[in-house]
Amino acid sequence: MRIDELLKEYKFVWAIDHANSLLGWDLEVNMPVEAASARGEALAYLALIRREYLLRLKDLVSKYEDAKDLTDFERGVIRVLKRELKYYTSIPPEVIEELNRTTTKAAVVWREARRESNFDKFKPYLSKIVELERIIADKLGYEGHPYNALLDLYEEGFTVNDADSVFNTLLPNLKSILEKILSEGKYPSRHPLEEVPYDVNVMKSINEELLKILDMPVGTRFRMDVSAHPFTTSMSINDVRITTRYEGKDFRATMFSVIHESGHAIYELMIDPSLEMTPAGRGVSMGVHESQSRFWENIIGRSREFVHLIYPLLRERLPFLKDYSEEDVYRYFNIVRPSLIRVDADEVTYNFHIALRYEIEKGLIAGKLDVSDLPSLWNDFMDKYLGVRPRNDAEGVLQDIHWSQGSFGYFPTYTLGNVIAGMIYAKLPGLRDKVAGRRFNEIKEFLRDRICKYGAIYPPKELLMRSFNDTYNPTYLLNYLREKYLS
């Protein structure tokens, strides 16, 4: 292979990433509380070592980037590394270090501010983060809107024009769909099962059965644990791990976190083995990754066919379900209501929460909005989009951790995930029958052949065009929602 020398040197970077992933997983799952300081120090030094090893690849990337007759895989490797190198070489180390210092403090202050519902406490840190994110956008360079530079970090090639097009189509149509659902009253806005407590050990056994139903390779290439916030991490193509949490009531929450994270895991597990330990052996973007988790959680997990499949298991192990029919459980899984908190939002209202954050981030990075105005601006957007208004900052502008971490440009990928999941629903033949027949391996084969096996070889838009002859088209999602909730 033409780039063997480059791939050999890259393995140092891969090994550091492997260690980082394992340390990050352990931090959330096993690590004793007082180990946090040393773990943070270790991760910080590993980040410096990774940067050093990645920069060593610069000359090799330059050597091969203009070579003729490269394979698609080789071009993908060069593209991925060029993007990483651009980040490290464009942004001065002192800016990255200042952002790391600021976000480390900001994450602590954000938790305090949210607990106290006091935005003023968090405001100076957020102002500094926004200032640094603007510098990063300028250093990275962009065409058109400065926010494009940050969007591209999470979804390669995605721009403000793309996002505006998606939201301009989605929002008015979602508004119409939501109004019809609420007026018809077929899907509840509240359900008694939301308040019913459950036995945690019983729910653990149900979640383990769910993994069997989804045919996850538990114990061989995959495992599930418990953490404060559900997540997925991949050490390698043969070592992918998820977590869930148990809150003691509203049993669908832990179930759907398992199905959601399993969707992320399925993506990583189905990357072609030949891409292992290469820059292309990863998910291509946050939006495409989110499409897999949303597809499994919402389109499969909340479907009538899936409820029919798992209802006997639920009824057998949850005694309180003796008073609830299969139809009751389906309605409970598909509650629709305008709500204040993004992570609690249903699939009809969720994208309004993302549109709000997108508009605020876009305005902040362009210098058109001031951080001081965010609480009132947030509340006005919520009123405009969903007709609900936060009573305090904790219910409003302080609810997400993302800004304290400097993750500007991340939020829109959640909506992209929903949009792409809708497209998969439209393009996957006989999906309902496959779910009803518990033929999940056939669904996985479709996803593997269209998305997963390619890793990061192709940019997101090219991958979607190759596989579906379309990109970020919200029409499929709207059609799915109309079919499900209004037909």
pLDDT tens-digit map of 341-360: 999 999 999 999 999 999 99
Same domain, 150 and 199: no
Residues annotated as binding site for Zn(2+)? 260, 264, 290
Residues 111, 206 share a domain? no
Q: What was the pLDDT predicted at 482? A: 98
Residue 2 confidence (pLDDT) = 86
Q: Residue 306 belongs to a domain with what CATH number? A: 1.10.1370.30
Rounded distance, CA 189 to CA 462, Å?
A: 39
Is the separation of the CB atoms in 171 and 415 below 8 Å? Answer: no
The pLDDT value given to residue 58:
98
Whole-number pLDDT of residue 33: 87
Q: What's the confidence (pLDDT) of residue 167?
A: 99
Half-sphere exposure of 269 (CA within 13 A, CB side): 23
Residue 467 in this model has a pLDDT that exceeds 90 = yes
Residues 64 and 169 in one domain: no
- 257 within 8 A of 266, measured Cβ to Cβ: no
Q: Which two tokens stand for residue 417?
A: 């995930």
pLDDT tens for 138-186 read 999 999 999 999 999 999 999 999 999 999 999 999 999 999 999 999 9
Residues 125 and 206 in one domain: no
* CA pseudo-torsion sign 161, 163, 164, 165: positive
Which spans in 117-193 are helix H? Answer: 119-140, 147-154, 160-184
State mean pLDDT over 102-108.
92
Long-range contacts of 221-228 (CB under 8 A, 24+ apart): 221/269, 222/265, 222/269, 224/258, 225/29, 226/29, 227/28, 227/29, 228/28
> Do 108 and 202 sit in the same domain of this protein?
no
CA distance 275 to 236: 10
pLDDT at 100 over 80: yes
197 bridge partner residues? 249
Read off the tokens for 23: 């340390």
- 210 near 258, Cβ under 8 Å? yes
- Give the chain's domain count: 2
Same domain, 164 and 132: no
Rounded to the nearest 10°, the torsion over CA 349, 352, 354, 356 is -150
What's the pLDDT tens digit per position in 408-461? 999 999 999 999 999 999 999 999 999 999 999 999 999 999 999 999 999 999
Give the residue ranges of the annotated binding site.
260, 264, 290
- Helix (H) / strand (E) element for 230: namely none
Do 183 and 87 fall within a single domain?
no
Same domain, 110 and 90: yes
Token pair for 354 = 């993302």
End-of-domain residue from the set 103, 121, 154: 154
119 and 70 both lie in a single domain = yes
Could you tell me the end-to-end alpha-carbon distance of the chain, in angstroms, rounded to an integer? Answer: 54
Active centre residues (catalytic): 261
Last residue of a domain, one of 104, 132, 154: 154
Beta partners for 346?
none
Q: Are 232 and 261 in contact (CB under 8 A)?
A: yes
Which residue, 154, 183, 199, sits at the end of a domain?
A: 154
- Condensed to tens digits (0 to 9), the pLDDT of residues 2-53 reads 899 999 999 999 999 999 999 999 999 999 989 988 998 999 899 999 999 9
Which residues have C-beta within 8 Å of that of residue 115, sequence separation ≥ 6? 394
What's residue 205's pLDDT? 99
Angle CA(54)–CA(48)–CA(84) in degrees, nearest 5?
35
Domain coverage including residue 53? 4-154
Give the tens place of pLDDT for each residue, 267-311: 999 999 999 999 999 999 999 999 999 999 999 999 999 999 999
Please count the other Cβ atoms lying within 10 Å of the Cβ belonging to residue 3. Answer: 22
CA distances 409 to 84, 258, 412, 473, Å, are 17, 26, 7, 19
Percent of the chain with pLDDT over 90: 96
Distance of CA 126 to the CA centre of its chain: 22
Q: Tokens 């040197």 belong to which residue? A: 9
DSSP state of 3: T
Going by the DSSP 8-state scheme, the letter that residue 162 receives in this structure is: H
Same domain, 149 and 167: no
Residue 112 DSSP SS3: helix
User: What is the predicted pLDDT for the residue at 259?
Assistant: 99
Mean model confidence pLDDT for the chain: 97
Confidence (pLDDT) at 19? 97
For residue 1, pLDDT over 80 is answered with no
CA–CA distance, 44 with 97 (Å, rounded to integer): 10
Q: How many CB atoms lie within 10 A of CB 5?
A: 12
Kindly indicate the confidence band of residue 401, based on its pLDDT and cuts at 50, 70 and 90: very high
Are residues 136 and 260 located together in one domain of the fold? no
Question: Do 119 and 79 reside in the same domain of the chain?
Answer: yes
Q: What is the pLDDT of residue 240?
A: 99
